[in-house]
Amino acid sequence: MAAVQEGDGAPINTGKDGEFCSQETLKLEDLLNKNMRIRMTDGRTLVGLFLCSDRDCNVILGSAQEFLKPTDSFSQGEPRILGLAMIPGHHVVSIEVESDSLLSSQYL
Amino acid sequence: MEQKDSQREQQHRLKAERALWCGACKEFGHWQDVGEYEDPLWQGEVYYWGEVNTAEEWLLWENQTPATCPKELEGGRTSMYRVLPLSGWKGGATCPKEEDGEKEKGAGRERGVAAAPVGGKRGSAIMVMKASVEEDDAGWGLGIPDKMKNNANWVDITQDFKGACRELKLGELLHDKLFGLFEAMSAIEMMDPKMDAGMIGNQVNRKVLNFEQAVKSGAIKVKDLTLPDLIGIMDTCFCCLITWLEGHSLAQTVFTCLYVHNPDLIEDPAMKAFALGILKICDIAREKVNKAAVFEEEDFQAMTYGFKMANNVTDLRVTGMLKDVEDDLQRRVKHQQCSALFSRIKFTRLLLTALLAFTKKETSSVTEAQKLMIQAADLLSALHTSIHHGVQAQNDTTKGDHPIMMGFEPLVNQRLLPPTFPRYAKIIKREEMVNYFTKLIDRIKTVCEVVNTANLHSILPFCSLIQIHGHNRARQRDKLGHILEEFATLQDEAEKVDAALHSMLMKQEPQRQHLACLGTWVLYHSLRVMIQYLLSGFELELYSMHEYYYIYWYLSEFLYAWLMSTLSRADSSQMAEERITEEQQKGRSNKKSKKKKKARPLSREITMSQAYQNMCAGMYKTMIAFEMDGKVRKPKFELDSEQVRYEHRFAPFNSVVTPPPVHYIQFKEMSDLNKYSPPPQSSDLYMAASKHFQQAKMILENVPNPDPEVNRILKVAKPNIVVMKLLAGGHKKETRVSVNLHLV
């Protein structure tokens, strides 16, 4: 995953392919395989494991479940299981993760 | 309340996704693996240890494994993989997992009802999964988010996330090292109408209501339905039923009729009886088709999405209800709409009763079913002429769009559909309804005839062979290729048994010879399978014209030749047996009635084989002659050769020992025309072909009681004779050749 090298002052982090990447990318990598909740432009919400993303914020979720109404309502009915789903970046309204996921942790 | 067994469907999907199995709670997807994307070794064990292949099996599989949570199987392994409860899971009594202190994600996973109706069984067999049972009307209410989702702190990171993503280079993907482009490719794209089946609900202007919602809002009537209402709804239901039988899912056909979601709520007696009737018909049909197992996904979809198929009402009650409605209608003033409704109710009752008859074990019920089908057929014209009485759809259904009318909601089951691209079921038009029913009734009548057939060959004890013939043609050919291997093994065994029986028999009755009966029998069937395999290639238009000659060669010079010798051997051993039996009987009764010359049971087979052999021989020689005359386009073999194609065509035969496969070099040697001196010219070959067709014609014309098959071959043979003669005489040299295949 990522290793931290002490550079001239600002820590430079090496990505898995030895690329140099900034602080923000490191955060993204920490989010991989974490639960994520994404609200789409048509009002549907997808909850799943964050697996992949690209520059345009196209996100792939694993074991994704689709909910119809906002998740703060109890009357949303049953989720539809989608499996692997990709949300185009321009259809993403909001992205949420569970607060614990933001704590960086090292995985073997 | 809509009864959906989404839990079952979810389990099915989870299993397909290689979700983890929880031995304690006996379900998939209870645990998620946080860490490596790929399944760790022990998870694989659990997966296979689960030993379930379908959601049904999973439900039936109880008390067979110790209550172990995946975490415990880890044994001495260090926690390289952290196992956490899957979000959205409505937990139950605590899993042993909990005690490990892994419950980071919030507490209170109280299990919902642990009972699910077992799929496939009629009547309610409740399987209790866990000790603690809570009443939960929604069944497997996995939808209600558990406290975790509501209480967990969801932090919005939208801006940070988007900002971070912008740092990526164009085309760069951020992903875990085990998740690559290949996996990314298989994701469904949301908000694309071609891929996202859940989007459609948002695209239509009308609000999609389920049955209960529709009743509440008054969008659907459960009483005071007018006759045109009833007729229209029933006709559309029939069309949905047919569309289902033609291969679409119930969710997009019959279950789009809201009335069948909960017939208990219907007050109109006719509609109620009809809804129950349709459910029963679907249930029995599905059971029968499943049992036969002669279909693949493209042919038929059996999934019922957890819908209750009227199993709280007995079959007798439903037919009784239908009869009551019929009687009531008969008493009313007779006018067209009344009799239209009457016919439909009666048709439903007859169809249901006939299907029920098939479930009974007595053979007399087959006759009963036949009679019912004849009665049903009588109603068809009445059905057809009264279609116009029914309420028509509000939209244009000529292109197969689902009818929009009271009682139906095409999108009501959208969320039950599997996460694939959206599939559209084209509901057939009402005018075609009767057409289909006519054919259906004919088929059922034919099925009833099977019990009367005395011919041994139609009741082959090879179960898989019978099943194969139930499949559609393309699948058939594929399976035939595979079954040859099994036949080869069977042949081997048969020969061993023969040898054993032979030595046994020699000791007991030295005069009698056990003439390899079993081996012959198996060989006969192997040969037939091989012939069928090659012939089906023509039907499926798999061969190019330049390949015909070796296909026909294999058939005429090899397979049919073997078949003929096998049949003659069987025939002669049969005759030998009969002679011996006669001699034994002679001793017993003096007054032996003069036995008429019985038609030999195999004579017809032998005749047909001879005819086919000649036909194939004729075709073979014709094709060679065409090639000589340059009428056949041969491809420039760049990457392959004729040998490669040949070997590929006959590849399934390599597993067969008897007859031994003929390899390409051998074939070339055996078919080499240069071994004749002088080697034949095309005109000689045309002449020879003509003679073959002539021979076939003669053989077939002598067949007593010719059946349609005989006539079809004759239709091909006769013109071929003429054409071959013309070609032999040098006429028509410039004509181009295109071969039209006649289905034999």
Can you give B83-151 as a three-state secondary structure string?
EEECCCCCCCCCCHHHHHHHCCCCCCCCCCCCEEECCCCCCCCEEECCCCCCCCCCCCCCCCCCHHHHH
Of residues B570, B534, B552, the one with CA closest to residue B656 = B534
Say if B191 is an interface residue toward chain A (CB within 8 Å).
Answer: yes
Band of the pLDDT at B240, cuts 50, 70, 90? very high
- Exposure string for B231-264, b = 16+ CB within 10 A, e = fewer: bbbbbbbbbbbbbbbeebbbbbbbbbbbbbbbbe
Amino acid in position B433: M
Nearest-CA distance from A64 to chain B in Å? 10
The reported pLDDT for the residue numbered B269 is 93
Report, as an integer, the average pLDDT of A87-101: 87
State whether A80 and B199 contact (CB < 8 Å).
Answer: no
| Token duo for residue B602 | 């195999």
Q: Which residues contact B46 (CB under 8 A, 6 or more apart)?
A: B20, B21, B23, B70, B73
Asked whether residue B174 carries a pLDDT value surpassing 90, the answer given is: no
The residue to which tokens 């006018």 are assigned: B335
**Helix ranges (DSSP H) in B267-414:** 269-292, 315-331, 336-359, 364-385
Chosen for mutation from A13, A23, A60 (greatest number of chain B CBs closer than 10 Å) is A60
Which of A62, A76, A102 is facing B155, going by the closest CB pair? A102
Give the number of other Cβ atoms within 10 Å of residue B613's Cβ.
Answer: 22
User: In this complex, do B144 and A108 lie within 8 Å of one another by their Cβ atoms?
Assistant: no
**pLDDT greater than 70 at residue B623:** yes
A55–B190 C-beta distance less than 8 A:
no
Closest A-chain CA to B190:
A87
Alpha carbon distance B668, B661 (integer Å): 13
- Determine the average pLDDT of the residues in B495-499: 76
Phi and psi, residue A23, nearest 5°? -60, -40
Least confident of A84-88, B60-64, B104-108, B664-668: B104-108
Which of B4, B144, B183 minimises the CB distance to A74?
B144
What is the phi/psi pair of residue B611, to 5°? -60, -50
pLDDT more than 90, % of chain B: 22
Q: In the structure encoding, which two tokens stand for residue A103, read together?
A: 């704590």
Alpha carbon distances (Å) from B340 to B271, B392, B397, B472: 14, 15, 22, 36
Residue B154 C-alpha, separation from nearest chain A C-alpha, in angstroms: 5
The token pair at B728 is 């032999």
Instruction: Please list every residue in chain B whose beta carbon sits closer than 8 Å to the beta carbon of residue A95.
Output: 156-158, 161-162
Cα-based distances in Å from B86 to A90, B142, B404: 28, 12, 40
Q: ipTM surpassing 0.90, yes or no? A: no
Interface test with B, best of A26, A80, A105 (most B CBs within 10 A): A80
Tell me what pLDDT residue B681 has.
87
Which chain A residues have a beta carbon less than 8 Å from that of B10? 81
**pLDDT band at B18, cuts 50/70/90?**
low
Distance from CA of B179 to the nearest CA of A (A): 7
Mind listing the pLDDT tens digit for each residue in B656-677? 888 888 999 999 998 888 888 8
Range ranked top by mean pLDDT from B177-191, B391-405, B495-509, B603-617: B603-617
Eight-state DSSP code of residue B152:
S
Per residue in B719-742, pLDDT tens?
888 888 888 887 665 555 555 554
Percent of chain B, pLDDT > 70? 73
Contact B401, B239 (CB under 8 A): no
* Token pair recorded at residue B410: 């095409």
CA B551 to CA B533: how far, in whole Å? 11
- Chain A's closest residue to B9, CA to CA, is A81
What is the pLDDT at residue B254? 93
The neighbouring-strand residues paired with A94 are A39
Closest-CA residue in chain A for B419?
A82
Q: What band does A21 get if pLDDT is binned at 50, 70 and 90?
A: very low
Sequence-distant (6+) residues with CB within 8 A of B25 are B69, B92, B95, B111, B129, B130
Report strand pairing: A3-5 vs A80-87: unpaired
Q: For residue A19, give how far its alpha carbon lies from the nearest alpha carbon of chain B (Å).
A: 11
Distance of CA B634 to the CA centre of its chain: 37
More confident residue, B226 or B149: B226
Name which of A21, A60, A98 is nearest B153 (Cβ-Cβ). Answer: A98
Q: How many CB pairs under 8 A join A and B?
A: 185
Distance from C-alpha of B606 to C-alpha of B348, rounded to nearest angstrom = 46
Global model pTM greater than 0.80: no
Checking B16-20 for CB contacts under 8 A at 24+ apart, the result is B16/A83, B17/A63, B17/A83, B18/B43, B18/B47, B19/A63, B19/B86, B20/B46, B20/B47, B20/B70, B20/B83
A32 to chain B, minimum CA–CA distance in Å? 7
Asked whether the beta carbons of B338 and B332 are under 8 A apart, the reply is yes
B228: preceding bond cis by omega (within 30 degrees): no
CA dist list (Å): A83 to A86, B12, B138, B607, B645: 10, 12, 23, 59, 41
Give the mean pLDDT of B236-251: 92
Name B540's Cβ contacts closer than 8 Å, sequence gap at least 6. Answer: B473, B474, B477
Q: Average of pLDDT values for B508-515?
A: 62
Domain positions in chain B are: 201-450, 459-577+601-729
| pLDDT at residue B99, as a whole number | 35
- pLDDT band for position B411 (cuts 50, 70, 90): confident
**A38 three-class SS:** strand
Name the residue among B422, B414, B392, B418 with its Cα closest to residue B405. B392
The answer on pLDDT for B621 being more than 80 is: yes
| pLDDT surpassing 50 at residue B268 | yes
Q: Which of residues 53-82 of B touch A (CB under 8 A)?
A: 80
Q: State how far the Cα of B452 lies from the Cα of B367, in Å rounded to an integer.
A: 10
End-to-end alpha-carbon separation of chain A, Å? 9
- Tens digit of each residue's pLDDT (9 = 90 or more) over A55-77: 999 999 998 888 876 544 344 56
Q: What is the mean pLDDT of residues B125-145?
A: 29
Pairing of strands B126-128, A20-21: unpaired
Q: What is the pLDDT of residues B430-471, one digit of tens each?
A: 888 999 999 999 888 887 877 665 444 444 445 556 666 667
Spatial contact of B699 and B610, defined as CB atoms under 8 Å apart: yes
* CB contact residues (below 8 A), chain B span 127-156, against chain A: 138, 141-145, 149-150, 152-156
More confident residue, B495 or A56: A56
